[in-house]
Each structure stands twice: as C-alpha cells, then as structure tokens.
Structure 1
Amino acid sequence: MRKSRFTEAQIIGMLKEQEAGMATAELCRRHGLSPATFYKLKARYGGMELSDAKRLKQLEDENAKLKRLLADAMLDNVVLKDLLGKP
C-alpha cells in the first residue's frame, strides 16, 4: 500500500478545519489534494481523535503481522503433509 503524504495528525487537522466551517473546495486547494481524496480520508478518519487514529494504525500493523504468521504456518503444514504423504 502506498504511504500517505499526510500524517494522521495532519489528516485529522484537515477534517477538523472542515468541520469548523471551511469550505471543502478551499480546504482541498490549500492542502493540495483532490476532493475525492478528501472524502476518502473523511470516510476513514472522520470522527476520530489523534489517539484513535494511532490505535487504528497499531491494530492494522498487528493484524498484518498475524496474517503473515498464519500464512507461514499454513505453508509449513502443506510442506509437512507433502513430505509425509509421499514415500
């Protein structure tokens, strides 16, 4: 996945500016992003505080690590079954 050029703190700051009454078009122009990108970020980070966003990132990293461990374990099982199944 491509790394965002904005940090979670910057994204939440932009969302707070928009909630405070700044027009979306003005906000997008000022920060250099498209309205589609803004609404995608709003869908993901809308209603979050900075601590919530950091916790979300931590959980996503942990989830990715666990998925890799599961894939490795499943691969090991397949290799062992192949070795035991063949004479």
Structure 2
Amino acid sequence: MGFLRQAEAGIPVKYIRRQGGFSDATFYRWRTCFGGMAASETQRLHTPGTNNNRLNKLWLQAHQDIKA
C-alpha cells in the first residue's frame, strides 16, 4: 500500500519500482487490485470472517469500475 500511496503523491513509478525491487507489471497489477482500498480494508482481506464477504464485494465493484 505504501508504494501505491507514493505514486498517488506524484512520485514517478520508475523510482518507486527501483526502490521496491519489482517490475512495472507488478506495480500496475497491485494498483488494479488494491488501488481504491484503504489499508485497513486490505488487511481484512487476509482475515477470515463475515466482513471478508463484504470486502470481496467492494473489491469486485472497484475492479469493475476500473475496467469500465
């Protein structure tokens, strides 16, 4: 999430990916999956429970909005 926040702040992606040691494709995949989510929401995706279904629905809606 920190890398995505840096990109939103205006830091060029090439500097962010060099710092993190990952490819452009990885960064854009992360942005597609987690771009509209808050840090607390992404943490809950990894925990089982009833909120997980709600977060999955939010993720699907955000993903559909990105593709549209």
Post-superposition CA distance 1:34-86 (Å, at most 9, x none): 00000011111112111100122225xx78xxxxxxxxxxxxxxxxxxxxxxx
Give the gaps of 5 or more residues in structure 1. Answer: 1-11, 64-87
Post-superposition CA distance 1:11-45 (Å, at most 9, x none): x1110000000001111111100000000111111
Structure showing greater radius of gyration is 1
Equivalent in 31, 49, 58 of residue 42 of structure 1? 31
Identity over aligned residues, as a percent?
Answer: 38
RMSD: 2.1
4+ aligned runs moved over 2 Å, structure 1: none
TM-score norm. by structure 2 comes to: 0.65
Give the gaps of 5 or more residues in structure 2. Answer: 54-68
Counting matched residue pairs gives 51
TM-score norm. by structure 1 comes to: 0.52
